[in-house]
Structure formats: structure tokens, C-alpha cells
Amino acid sequence: MELNYNFKKFVDKAKFIFIILNNEGTLEYLNDEACKVFEYSKEEVIGKNWFDIFLPECDRAKLSYSWKQSIDSGQELFNNYTNNLITKYDKKRIIEWNNSFEKDKNGFVKKIISVGRDITNSSHGLEGNIKILFSLNERIKELNFFYSFSKLM
């Protein structure tokens, strides 16, 4: 996909992740922020399968199957979602995505345009999960106390 020069210049300097995949899951474009977050150069990943490079192995089959069904049906099932990805150096990142399909005149999906943001260290990402775990731990302590107390009665 050829991007307009000014648009490409804007997207490359933006502080969000911008990628374009073809309908087979091949990475056709990624911006500078995506390179920074995923620790790859453009040359290393353009033309390669997104799922094989960025998805944790345990998620690949399930997500690539669901994604392919979405492409084949033309329904944007993954319009807004969050998933775990891995970087070149095996760091885990949590990315929140918004996607859009580019379709041909017959309604078949040609490209998937995705804009994302790394929320690994945001309140929605790792820190949020840690807060939830601490909160759950406190609730468990309370439940254990009440359970122990109820056994005395």
C-alpha cells in the first residue's frame, strides 16, 4: 500500500503504533513507533507474517484462525481489542488496537489498517493488573477471616 508522502511523514513521527497487513497477515507497513515498541527495524519485518513474529506461540493458532475467519467473512470482529505481543527480545507488550478493513469493489478485504497504543505500563496494562491482584488478595484475606470466624460460631 502506497501512503501519501505527507501522511507517511505524519504517521512515522506519531506516538502511536500504525501497521498495515494484507489479507494473509503479511506486514506491509509499520511506523517508527511500532519499530520502537517491538524493537525491530522495518527491514526485518516488512513482508513477514505478523502472527509468526509478534504473537506469543501459545496464542498464534487461536488468534490467526479467528482473524482469518473475520477476513473471510468481511466482518470487523476485531475492531477494538487488546492483546499480548512479544518484541524482538522476547519482552511482552500489551497493545490496545483499533482496526479497519480496506475492501475492494466486491467487498473482499484487501488490507487491515491498525492503530494501537502500548498500554503495558498504563493503568490498563501491567500496573492495572497488579492493582487488581492486590485488591483480590485483600478480598481473599477478608473472606478467609470471615470463613475462619464462621467456623468458631
Which sequence spans correspond to the domains of the chain? 5-120
Buried b (16+ CB within 10 A) or exposed e, 40-53: beeeebeeebbbeb
The CATH code of the domain at 5-120 is 3.30.450.20
Q: Count other C-beta atoms under 10 Å from residue 151's C-beta.
A: 7
pLDDT at residue 56, rounded to an integer: 93
Separation CA 142–CA 137 (nearest Å): 9
Reference 86, options 59, 54, 116, 125; nearest CA is 54
Q: Is the pLDDT of residue 31 over 90?
A: yes
pLDDT at residue 136, rounded to an integer: 59
Dump pLDDT digits (tens) for 48-89.
Answer: 999 999 999 998 988 888 888 888 887 766 667 888 999 999
Q: Residue 128 contacts by C-beta under 8 Å, 6 or more apart in sequence?
A: 122
Using an 8 Å Cβ cutoff, are 11 and 18 in contact? yes
Q: Is the pLDDT of residue 46 over 60?
A: yes
Q: Give the mean model confidence (pLDDT) for residues 119-145.
A: 61
Q: Give the mean model confidence (pLDDT) for residues 91-119.
A: 90
Model-level pTM? 0.74
